[in-house]
A and B are shown apart, each in its own frame.
Chain A
Amino acid sequence: MTISLAFDLLLAAALLWSAWRALVNQDTFRSVILFIVFGLLLTLAWARLAAPDIALAEAAIGAGLTGALLLDAIGALRGKDRQP
């Protein structure tokens, strides 16, 4: 009981920390990486909440697809900057 409580508190702290770092970071690339980390931690949180359906969807969508979309957008924004 106490171990699972400690794990929950640690997971909540890690969620808040990664979200905070993703927001305040000036480098957008790092922000996106931290957001993907946040998505993976959120997957763990859904598993702790006994919601395996959401955990599956979050792992595939939140961490995978959103991450790919965001990274692709960064690539497009930066690629444009390099051209005159």
Chain B
Amino acid sequence: MSSGLIFAITGVVLFAMGSAGMLLVAHLLRRILAFNLMGSGAFLILVGLAQRGGTPDPVPQAMVLTGIVVAVAATALALALLRKLHTLNGRTELPRVEDD
């Protein structure tokens, strides 16, 4: 089992964990963390899967490099919105919708 495959599988588990967290965690800051975990999982799958044969592949590596920078911008944007929400009504959670 190559390290590419090991980390691709880790990435799948991280992605599943992050998506479950996105749906279940109420606190928005921790939901942003869950979103970041999903992103990291996707990056690990992208690079790990391309390198499961053992040779480094520069194409997914470059894609992930841009992805990391975009992810930090998305995180900062989400945090700005969270802080605005908190200044406006003092909440750190979205209002709960009773649908069932």
Residues on A with beta carbons closer than 8 Å to the beta carbon of B83:
73, 76-77
Instruction: Flag if B29 contacts A54 (CB, 8 Å).
Output: no
B97 at interface, CB cutoff 8 A: no
Q: How far is the CA of A46 from the CA of B43 in the complex (A)?
A: 10
B94 at interface, CB cutoff 8 A: no
Q: How far is the CA of A46 from the CA of B61 in the complex (A)?
A: 10
Residues on A with beta carbons closer than 8 Å to the beta carbon of B82:
73, 77
B64 at interface, CB cutoff 8 A: yes
Number of interface residues of A (CB under 8 A): 39
Q: A40-84: which residues lie under 8 A (CB-CB) from chain B? A: 42, 45-46, 48-51, 53-54, 57-58, 61-62, 65-66, 69-70, 73-74, 76-77, 80-81
Instruction: Flag if A8 contacts B7 (CB, 8 Å).
Output: yes
Residues on B with beta carbons closer than 8 Å to the beta carbon of A46:
47
Q: Is the interface of B mostly helix, strand, loop or mixed?
A: helix
Cβ-defined partner of A23 (8 Å) among B6, B33, B48? B33
Closest CB in chain B relative to A71 CB, distance in Å: 11
Contact A12 B7, CB 8 Å, known A23-B25, A49-B48, A65-B72: yes
Additional A-B contact list (13), CB under 8 Å, known A5-B6, A20-B17: A9-B6, A15-B14, A22-B30, A23-B21, A28-B29, A32-B33, A48-B7, A49-B7, A49-B56, A54-B47, A62-B40, A73-B79, A77-B82
A residues bordering B, Cβ < 8 Å? 4-5, 8-9, 12, 15-16, 19-20, 22-23, 28, 31-32, 35, 38, 42, 45-46, 48-51, 53-54, 57-58, 61-62, 65-66, 69-70, 73-74, 76-77, 80-81
